[in-house]
Amino acid sequence: MPGTKISQRMRALQLARDCAALGARIRTIHHLTGLRPRELLHLLFNSHAIPPCGRAPNSREWYHHANLLQRIEASIVIANFRRMRHLGFPAPEALVGAYRYYQSMYRPPARISFDRAFDLAAHTEGLWIAKAPSFRLASCSRCSSEFLDAFAGADTTARPCPFCQLLDRHARDPRLTASFPEPPPASEELIAHLMTVPGPVTDANGETPSNSSSLPPAET
Ligand SMILES: [Zn+2]
């Protein structure tokens, strides 16, 4: 019964539950599902499960202060989100699938929260809360990686490729050296990881397979 009211309702409820499980704010779930905030509060939370509160992420401000590892992880989330979009997934399912894949690659705590991923995806595609894109996926001419970049006018990149920066800084930065006892994997290998996007799923979850991390978490 695809397209019927009950199917639409069930899809929205399933999506809401998936988003809440990933730590989404009510505001984020509301934008992704169309369900009213009051109903979401009633359905998803109780005195033992309190919704996340505080100021919602503002990625256009955050991006300019984000450190190298945050920019790498943001790039991975958005590159996977865009790939799932190109495969035909609706934006909410693509976001959930891309975020689950990101979580499967890194040990917690995640540097990129689900709310951050939502904000970045919105401002990359001009969706939900964003009227127009203010980020894009840029292609590095040196390592061919795709990375998140702010629009800087013309075809220029606002900031250098974080994957190349990681390789360049690995030997010089004690924090990175401590995080990566071995030299970090080549950017091409990281991108090959990203290419392992699951085929179209049979349900609406965008479920993705677990994968061991080739880029372990590092304290910054
Ligand atoms: Zn590069």
Rounded to the nearest angstrom, the distance between the alpha carbon of 78 and the centre of ligand 1 is 16
pLDDT band of residue 12 (cuts 50, 70, 90) is very high
The per-residue pLDDT for range 99-157, each reduced to its tens digit, is 999 999 888 889 999 999 999 999 999 999 999 999 999 999 999 999 999 886 655 66
Rounded to the nearest angstrom, the distance between the alpha carbon of 147 and the centre of ligand 1 is 8
Contact 25, 51 (CB under 8 A): yes
pLDDT value at residue 201: 42
- Going from N- to C-terminal start, the domains of the chain cover 1-54, 57-220
Rounded to the nearest angstrom, the distance between the alpha carbon of 146 and the centre of ligand 1 is 8
The per-residue DSSP string of 62-113 comes to: HGGG--HHHHHHHHHHHHHHHHHHHTT--HHHHHHHHHHHHHHHSPSSPSS-
The per-residue pLDDT for range 43-85, each reduced to its tens digit, is 998 878 888 877 888 887 898 899 999 999 999 999 999 999 9
- Whether omega before 181 lies within 30 degrees of 0, making that bond cis, reads no
Angle, CA of 125, 192 and 209, to the nearest 5°: 80
Q: What whole-number distance in Å separates Cα of residue 138 and Cα of residue 135?
A: 9
